[in-house]
Every structure is written in C-alpha cells, then in structure tokens.
Amino acid sequence: MFCGVDIGGTNAKVGLVDKSGCLVDHDTVKTALYETPADLVLTLAYTILRLAKVNRVTIEGIGVCCANACALDGTVENAANLKFKQKFSLTELFRTYFPDTPIAVDNDANAATLGEQHYGKAKGLDDFLFVTLGTGVGGGVVCNKKLVYGFNAMAGEIGHIIVEPHGRPCGCGRKGCIERYVSAQGAVDTYFEICRENHIEPKTDRYRELAALALASDPQALQTYGQMGYHLGRFLANLACVTAPTHIFLFGGVAQVGDILLEPTRRAFNENLLFCYKDSIKIELSGLMDSSTDAAVLGAAALLFR
C-alpha cells in the first residue's frame, strides 16, 4: 500500500492508495493551523500511521507533493500558498518518522502528471503533455514514457511561456505569460475586458461564479471561455512542435467547465497546428478530474513510480 500526501495552502490530504490506484482510505489536515513545517509533518505522520493501523496495512512508500517542492532534494522554498516561507526539507522531516520507507517529493503539477500516467488516461502512452489550469498554470512533459525534469527539476513551467510580449503583467515579474490568460484569474480578467467592451456591468469577479455563468449560457461568460480556448489552443499547437505528443490532458479547476473550454481550445489547436501533426494529437480532460481529493492524493502516490 502506498501513501499519497498533497499539501495545499488550506488542507493537506493524506490517502492510502493500492497499486491499482484505488483510494482505500483518506483524511484531511488543516495546513493553516500549523506554525512550522515540523509541526505540520508531525501531524501528517501521525495521520499516516493511524490510517495504516486502522486499515491494517503496511506503508511501502510515501509520495508527497506541494507547490514549489523540488524533486532533486525534497525541499520547499517560498511556496506561494504556505505560511512557512523559509526553505525546509520535506524528505528529512518525513524521514524522522519513516526512516526505512521510500519517500518521494515533487511539485503538484509533476505529481498530477505521474498520477495521469499511472492511474489516469495516460496509462501506456509514450509521449504526452499534462496541463494544469487553476490558480496558476503548470504542466508536465512526458517523453519516451519519462517525466522530463530538466537540470533543476523545473521543466514544464509552461504557465510562464510568454504569449503576448506586451500583455498582462504576471506575478513572475514579466508580461504576457499564458498563465495570465487561461488561469482562473486570467478568466476573470478576460471577462471584465469583454464586459467593458460591451458596456455591461460584470456579474461577478470570482472564478467559480464565472464558470457557473458560462454553464448557464451567459453570453459574456461564454465569450470569455471562447477567448481562453483561442489562447490555449494556439499555445498548445506551438507546444506540440517541441515534443510531438499524442495526447494533451487538461486538468484543474478551470478545465472542469469541460466542453465550454475544450471546444474552442480544440478549434484553435487544429487551426494552428503544423501539418505534420494534424489529426494525430488528442486534447482531452484528465482522467483524474472526477474527484479533486482523489486526483491530488493519487498523483502524490504516483511519485513512488518515478
């Protein structure tokens, strides 16, 4: 039995995952209650041991994912969504309680990519891209069945590819990153632009409400996803030239609207794709989308397959 731990800003999720990718049991820890990484990991370790005892299983490996975690040394530094800004080693903290258990640490996008590969729709695929669309935009690049890490384990930072050189300012200090157009906040910004152009008062400034408006066929909200799909499709057509994947999986809160985003994305993708890849690359929703708890924990557990 593997254990997957997904450390988010609000909650940390702990789950027991069997080798077929079935979530056997799980629990949640409120991340924000803890003042130090050591305190948080103590509670996570306790939760893991309790779950193992209740379910009468042996933990054969622990996979931990967290924003900004580095796969090379298991450290986390300056994670945007955590209280603790100083650098700390997740591997070392977990090792205190599990000295003989394999421990794998990585960022959330890489974990989800491996989750897709081992438990989702990417089983058996050689070459695919995994794109997370949420608060931020991230990704995982799989070539020859292997996740690409690059020299600093920061490959796949595709959210910060610049698509509009003089475009919207990005938190990374530059302008026009794709993240500023197809993330949750990017969607809201586009919606505001469209409302302004149409001299209409925006109905919301929150992403979840915008998504609900689109699902309810609000014209400006639908137009927002049309524009997002246009940006995303063009972007993915360019990305396809680098590694020639067979599949591109979309994951995360923003992808949950489904066809409202998928259709314009596929249209722009096909319009902009180089002839030699035509009709050969599928854009699909991730196979891990059904339950957000499961996806994160499965992804974390899948780190043990690296």
Which stretches of the chain bind a second copy, using CB under 8 A? 126-127, 141, 143-144, 146, 148-158, 160-162, 165, 172-174, 234, 237-239, 241-246, 272, 274-277, 280-281
Nearer to a second copy, 54 or 244 (CB): 244
- How far is residue 171 from each of residues 118, 156, 178, 179, 258, measured CA to CA in Å? 32, 17, 12, 10, 27
Q: Least separation, in Å, of the C-beta of 92 and a second copy?
A: 22
Residue 143 host element (H or E):
strand 137-143
- The label of the residue with tokens 């998928």 reads 262
User: Considering only CA atoms, which of 96, 100, 74, 99 is closest in space to residue 87?
Assistant: 74
Nearer to a second copy, 163 or 212 (CB): 163
Nearer to a second copy, 161 or 215 (CB): 161
Nearer to a second copy, 177 or 285 (CB): 177
Nearer to a second copy, 140 or 299 (CB): 140
Nearer to a second copy, 232 or 297 (CB): 232
Nearer to a second copy, 93 or 147 (CB): 147
Nearest 10 degrees: Cα torsion 188, 108, 153, 266:
-50
Q: Least separation, in Å, of the C-beta of 71 and a second copy?
A: 11
> How many residues in the chain?
306
Output b/e per residue, 106-130; b: 16+ Cβ within 10 A. bbbbbbbbbbbbbbbbbeeeebbbb
Q: Least separation, in Å, of the C-beta of 125 and a second copy?
A: 9
Q: Least separation, in Å, of the C-beta of 43 and a second copy?
A: 30
Q: Least separation, in Å, of the C-beta of 213 and a second copy?
A: 28
Q: Least separation, in Å, of the C-beta of 60 and a second copy?
A: 26
**Under a CB-based contact definition with an 8 Å cutoff, are residues 69 and 76 in contact?**
yes
User: Considering only CA atoms, which of 139, 122, 223 is closest in space to residue 178?
Assistant: 139
CA distance 138 to 102: 26
Q: Least separation, in Å, of the C-beta of 278 and a second copy?
A: 11
Q: Least separation, in Å, of the C-beta of 184 and a second copy?
A: 20
Nearer to a second copy, 172 or 215 (CB): 172
User: Considering only CA atoms, which of 252, 283, 286, 290 is closest in space to residue 108?
Assistant: 252
**Under a CB-based contact definition with an 8 Å cutoff, are residues 107 and 90 in contact?**
no
- The label of the residue with tokens 């940390």 reads 12
Q: Which amino acid appears at position 227 of this protein?
A: Q
